[in-house]
């Protein structure tokens, strides 16, 4: 489409120039924004753990609280168990007597091998008879 005279007349109109003071202001603002972005991106050496914990600090705090609770409950429940061991201490000689009795019985069994019949080795029948027995049953 060739421009007509009216279009040419419009195209001839001189545009206003951009105010000169804007250049410094806009470029400074852009530079500040870039510097700010760089300073926030640069990793701090001490904040590794912070970055690791940052996504969900409440969850980590909750997990730590659960562990503390487990440790406390464990220590509380272990104390009565150790206290319950006290009355069992005088029974130790009875246990020793029972242990000696077991040893004596074991020695008798070892010394008289005929007293105990060894189990007969079970010889399996021919495989072909198994279906016949099942059918007969």
Partner 1 sequence: MSPRDFLVRVYDEHAQALFAFLLNFTRDEADTKDLLQELFVKLAKQPGLLEAARDERAYLIRLAHNLAIDLMRRRAARGKTYEQLAAEGASIFAPAVEPDEQAFRQALVAALGELPPEQRAVVHLKLWEGLTFEQIAETLDLPPNTAASRYRYGLDKLRRRLRPLYEEIK
User: Which residues contact partner 1 by CB under 8 A?
Assistant: 5-7, 9-11, 13-18, 22-23, 25-27, 29-31, 33-34, 37
Nearer to partner 1, 11 or 82 (CB): 11
Q: How far is the CB of 43 from partner 1 (least distance, A)?
A: 18
CA distance 96 to 103: 11
Q: How far is the CB of 54 from partner 1 (least distance, A)?
A: 23
> Which two three-digit tokens encode residue 91?
């029974």
CA distance 108 to 102: 10
Nearer to partner 1, 18 or 134 (CB): 18
Q: How far is the CB of 18 from partner 1 (least distance, A)?
A: 4
Q: How far is the CB of 45 from partner 1 (least distance, A)?
A: 25
CA distance 134 to 127: 12
């Amino acid at each position: 489409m060739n421009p007509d005279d009216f279009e040419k007349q419009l195209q001839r109109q001189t545009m206003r120039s951009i105010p000169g003071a804007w250049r410094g202001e806009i470029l400074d603002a852009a530079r500040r924004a870039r510097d700010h972005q760089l300073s926030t991106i640069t990793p701090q050496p001490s904040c590794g753990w912070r970055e690791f914990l940052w996504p969900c600090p409440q969850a980590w705090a909750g997990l730590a609280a659960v562990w503390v609770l487990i440790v406390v409950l464990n220590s509380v429940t272990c104390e009565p168990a150790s206290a319950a061991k006290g009355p069992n201490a005088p029974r130790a000689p009875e246990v020793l007597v029972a242990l000696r009795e077991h040893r004596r019985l074991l020695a008798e069994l070892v010394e008289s091998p005929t007293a105990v019949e060894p189990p007969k080795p079970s010889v399996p029948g021919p495989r072909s008879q198994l279906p016949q027995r099942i059918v007969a049953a």
